[in-house]
Structure 1
C-alpha cells in the first residue's frame, strides 16, 4: 500500500522474531496549523507535526495470553528489533489476560481500507493568512454587536491525520482524514455582571463549516441574552436541553452501553439488553462509514471494518458498543468500534453517534410547559454510569407559559439516567456536525435546585 505500511510490516516481523505469537503495529501522523486572534491582534500562530508509532505484542501462555504495548516517535527501522524485544519482555512480565487477542482479520482488495468513498480529505489546505482572516471575521462580527464588551478570542485551524495499521493476522490498512475548526468566546456586560457564550465548530470539509461572521453574531446574541441572570425555585419540573448540551445525554448512553463497562459490570444498563431503555419512538445510531463526518473511518483500531449500528431502536436496547476483547468477554462478535492511540490498548468507543429527531419543533416541544428550565450550558461531569445517578451544574433560561423567558444560572439539575432516558422527548432539529449529536431534548420530572 505505501512505505508506511511496509515499515509497519517490518515492525510486526521484528516482534514475531523476538518471540511474540501475535502483534500489530499502528502509526499515527498529525500535522496542524492554527491561528488565535484576540481584540484585533494575532496572539498565537501554531504549527504542530507529530508521528507516533505503537507496537502491541501478545505472548501465548498455558492460561491464556500476556499483552504489552510500547510506543515511540522514532520510525527508524534500525530501532525496531530492540523495541520489539522490550515489548516482548514486558509482555512476559505482566499478568495473563485470557481475553486479549487479535481479532479475526477481514480481507478484501484495496482500496477498501483507505477511506475511498468516505470523502474524508478536504482539498482546502489553508495558510496563516486564510486562518487569520477566518478568525477575524468571527471575532469582528461579535464585537460589532452592541452590548459585547470583550472577547476571549477566536481561533481558526486545520489539521490532517493519517492512521496506518498492520497486524500479524494479515490486516493492512491506511487512511487520512482532515478537519477545519473555528472557535470563539464573546463577553457581554461589565465588571462582575459580565456573561459569556461560545462556539466550537469542526468539519472535514471547509465548505461544511459555518460562515465565521454568522457564528460571531450568533455567539454575541447568546452572550447578551444571558445578562442579569436570576434563579429558579427548587423543585421538580420539565428540563429542556439545547442540542449543544443534549448531546451529553447521548454520550452518557454510549458510556453505559460500552462493552467494556458491561463486561466489568459497571453499567446501570448491563442487564437491559432487549428491554426498553429510552422512551418509545426514540432511536440511537452510530455510523463510522458516514461520508464527510468527523469520526468516520474505513476500519477501527483493530482492523475491523466500519458498519452502521443501531444501538437503540424505538426505545429498545439492541446492541452494545464492542471491540474484540469486550466481545469475547460477552460471547458476542465485535461491532468494529475499537478506539486506540499509538500508546494504548484498544477499547470500545462510538464513532459518529446521534439520536434520531422527533416530529415536533423545539417551540412545540416546550409549548405546554408552565414552568421549566431550558439548559444551554452544563458544568462538571456528574454522571455515574454504575448507578445512573446524574447531577450537573447548569445555566440557561427559564421557561414560562410555553416560552423561553429570562436568563438563569447557578442551578443544579439532578435525576437518574435510567428514569431520564425513559422520559425523553426529541424535537426535529437534529444537525449532525459534532461527532455526538442530538436534537433538542425534553426530560420530564427532573429536580432543579436553584435559589
Structure 2
C-alpha cells in the first residue's frame, strides 16, 4: 500500500518532464499524473459474475510557446525527452489561444491542509464478494422481491500529481468504497426495478451491505402496480433527495464559467440577479475534511475556498478555472479540474442548503401532488432552460403518499422552477452534490 500512496517518484518524473520541455523551447509547462487504483466484485443470484482490478498512472504534459499551447499524454515507461520534444513541436504549429495559460504564480497554493481524504484500509476481493452477496441476499429477502439485477462492492483510490514550471509541486490521494444492489419486484409486464447504494471515503463509515440491500428491496416493492394520473398544468412536484441531487447538478452546469463563456447557459446574463427564492443558498466548499469531493488544490495548483455561489437567492459566482476566468475578464476561484491535459471548471462539495421544514411536513403541505423518485431521459435544454423529463414516483393525496405512478412526464422551464423551489431540512452531505427533499410548484404533468 505504501508504494501505491507514495508519489515522490512521480513528482520527480513530472519535474524532469518540465525541465526537458523548457530545454526544448517551451516558455512554460505543467505536468500532471492522474492516479487510479480500483477493485470490484459483482454478483447475481448468489454467484460471482465478475471481478475487476485496475491501476494506472496517466501522464500529461502541457506546454506553452507564446500564446500557442499543445498537450500530449502517455503511460508510465515513456521516454521523457521524446515526449517533451513532441509537445514543443506540436505547440509551435498550433493556432494561438489567447486564454490558455498557467495559473498566475501569485494564486498558487504554497501550503495546503490535510483533508483526511485517504483511508488505507486493506479490502480484499473476498471482503468485497461477501459484501456484495450480503447486499443482494438482504434485498431478495424482502417479501415481494422476485429477482435480482445484481449487486456489487468496490474499493479504490485516486489522486493527482501536479508540477508546474513556475513553482508549484503537489500531490494528493483519496479513497472510495462502495456497495450497491438492484432488484426486481412483480412478474411479466408488471415488473418494476429499483436500487440502492452507499459510497464513502472511509470504509468503516459505509452503511452495512445488508442495510443497503434492505432499502433497495423496500423501495422496489412499493413501485409494483403503478398507475397513470390525469394531465395537469399546475401540479406541485416533490423531488426525492436522490433525484434532487441531479437537479442541483443542472444549477451547477448553468453557473459553470465554461458554459457562460460559450453562451450555452440560460443563466449567462444573470450574475448579481435573483435566480432562487429569497433565503435560499447554494454553497461549494473544496476544503471539507473527509468531504466526498474535497481537494487541497485544483488541477492548476490553486487552493479554492468555500464560496456561497447563490446567496439569499442571488447569483454571486461562476465556477472558474484560469483560462475560463480570463475569457470572462475575471480571476480563477480554484475550480479547475484536469481532464487529461485539459483544464475546465467544475464544482467540488456542492450543496443546496436545507430549509426549516421536515420532508413529511412538506408533503403534507402540498395536499395533492406528485412525489418523484426517478427521472428518465435527457430532456433538459441548458441554453433555453426548457425542462421535460419522464418520471416515476408516488401520487400525493391529502398530504400522504398513496399509490405508485409511472409513464408520466413533468415539464417546465428551469428559470421558473428555480424561483418556485422550497427545500426541506433532510440534507445528506455524504454526496459530492448534496440536496434535501424539495418541492417545485406550478409544473405541468402529462399523464393519461
Asked if Structure 1 and Structure 2 have the same fold, meaning a TM-score greater than 0.5 normalized by the shorter chain, the answer is: yes
Conserved? CA contact 2:109–2:301, under 8 Å: no
Alignment RMSD (CA, Å): 1.3
Aligned to 1:241: 239
Structure-to-structure mapping, 1:419-438, within 5 angstroms: 419-438=416-435
Conserved? CA contact 1:203–1:293, under 8 Å: no
Task: Write out per-residue CA displacement over residues 376-405 of structure 1, whole angstroms, 9 at most, x where no aligned residue.
Answer: 001112211111111111111111111111
Aligned to 2:321: 323
TM superposition shift of 1:107: 5.4
CA–CA distance in structure 2, aligned partners of residues 313 and 211 of structure 1: 37
TM superposition shift of 1:86: 1.6
Out of 240, 252, 255, the position equivalent to 2:253 is: 255
Which consecutive residues of structure 1, in runs of 5 or more, have no partner in the other structure? Answer: none
Aligned to 1:297: 295
TM superposition shift of 1:92: 2.3
CA–CA distance in structure 1, aligned partners of residues 283 and 209 of structure 2: 30
CA–CA distance in structure 2, aligned partners of residues 386 and 67 of structure 1: 29
Classify 1:88/1:157 alpha carbon distance in 2 versus 1 (closer, same or farther; 3 Å). Answer: same
Q: TM-score, normalised by structure 1?
A: 0.95
Task: Write out per-residue CA displacement over residues 188-224 of structure 1, whole angstroms, 9 at most, x where no aligned residue.
Answer: 1111111011123211001221121111111101100
Aligned to 1:206: 203
Conserved? CA contact 1:53–1:75, under 8 Å: no
Aligned to 1:88: 88
CA–CA distance in structure 2, aligned partners of residues 66 and 368 of structure 1: 59
Aligned to 1:66: 68
Aligned to 1:349: 346
Matched positions, count? 440
CA–CA distance in structure 2, aligned partners of residues 233 and 107 of structure 1: 57
Conserved? CA contact 1:393–1:413, under 8 Å: yes
Aligned to 1:131: 128
Aligned to 1:286: 284
Moved more, 200-209 or 275-284: 200-209
Instruction: List, as ranges, runs of 4+ consecutive aligned residues in structure 1 with deviation greater than 6 Å.
Output: none
Aligned to 2:43: 37
1:150 equivalenced with 2:147 (yes/no): yes
TM superposition shift of 1:28: 1.4
CA–CA distance in structure 2, aligned partners of residues 8 and 123 of structure 1: 25
Aligned to 1:104: 104
CA–CA distance in structure 1, aligned partners of residues 146 and 352 of structure 2: 37
TM superposition shift of 1:130: 0.9
TM superposition shift of 1:275: 0.9
Conserved? CA contact 1:125–1:158, under 8 Å: no
SS of the aligned residue for 2:366 comes to: coil
CA–CA distance in structure 1, aligned partners of residues 339 and 365 of structure 2: 47
